[in-house]
Amino acid sequence: MSETTNQPRTAVSFVQVSAEQQGQRIDNFLMARMRQLPKGAIYKLLRTGQVRVNKKRVKAVYRIQEGDEIRIPPVRHEPEKGEVSIPQGLLNKLDSWILLEDDALMVLNKPAGIAVHGGSGLGYGLIDILRAARPNAPFLELVHRLDRETSGCLLIAKSRDILTQLHELIRNNGLMKRYLALVDGVWEGQERVVETMLQSGKKGGKRAMKVEDDGRTAISHFRPLKRFDSATLMQIDIETGRTHQIRVQSAHLGHPIIGDSKYGNHELNRAWKKKGLGRMFLHSSELAFQLPVSGRKYHCKAPLADELEVALKQLQRK
């Protein structure tokens, strides 16, 4: 049975450190494993010697080594008022989100509406759901991010070595990331390489990205797939991964993404909401890459969510 993040431990357990786990500080290792406990409680366990490594007391700065045996004591944590636990229903859905999984990594089809990290009023994110559903997994880390309302391919590394390799691929443009977006208006012409400079700023008192000459370079390849009477389905490949890159560039080009509450057309969004589309039409449809060490190749596709398919069927081809 899967553990939730506030499920108490009822017995002493012993964990042997794997090669993937070595090098972490013991306090960070415990925080990842005992997410139901506040940091203060974990430091108290170390300070009082209830957590031991190879039967010896260690300080919080100790870096665990492959083969170390860690004693983890029984603990019970009563959730504090306002503390958020992960619904069992979400844990049960996780397997249906997995598009691909092997010993090195997994690719999830992230649903719209779920943030990748907790925060901004959210008690948990997709990575927390994953770790709660896989409490014995030694290492699970996000390789990249998707906005909360963006669905589709999300890459998870199962070891620090794989995470490092994938980050290197991203830096060298070795990870193909493809999106599908429904944008307002009819796109003129064919494929365009769009290069803009993006910088963080404010919009309506909230943080937003904007096109500025002294910003950071953002490069995307926009290709029209289907033109409708009032919208265009675009395939967008990105070379850089700037915050809100596709959303800002689409709006800058005069073709905001339908359903985008931050950069889009609010009247148009309201009209689409009445038709049943209550989210942004942006979907991470494909990932393709080759791991440099093993040479293993990956190509993964995420199907459009039902509500996006329904939205397309309501449009008339131009």
Q: Answer yes or no: is pLDDT of 276 > 50.
A: yes
Specify the CATH number for 13-72; select among 3.10.290.10, 3.90.1200.10, 3.40.50.300, 1.10.569.10: 3.10.290.10
Per-residue pLDDT tens digits for 65-113? 989 999 999 876 554 444 457 888 888 999 999 999 999 999 999 999 9
Specify the CATH number for 88-164; select among 3.20.20.80, 3.30.2350.10, 2.30.30.60, 3.40.50.300: 3.30.2350.10
Q: Answer yes or no: is pLDDT of 231 > 50.
A: yes
Average of pLDDT values for 167-178?
Answer: 95
Cα 2 to chain centroid distance, Å, stands at 21
Please tell me the predicted confidence (pLDDT) of residue 23.
Answer: 83
pTM of the model as a whole: 0.76
As a dihedral over the C-alpha atoms of residue 182, residue 186, residue 192, residue 194, rounded to 10 degrees, the angle is -60
Q: Answer yes or no: is pLDDT of 192 > 80.
A: yes
Please tell me the predicted confidence (pLDDT) of residue 8.
Answer: 42
Q: Is residue 147 annotated as a catalytic residue, yes or no?
A: yes
Q: Of 27, 68, 128, 147, which one is the catalytic site residue?
A: 147
Q: Answer yes or no: is pLDDT of 285 > 80.
A: yes
Among residues 288, 306, 18, the alpha carbon closest in space to that of 177 is found at 288
| Ranges in the chain annotated CATH 3.30.2350.10 | 88-164, 173-313
Average of pLDDT values for 137-145?
Answer: 90
DSSP 179: E
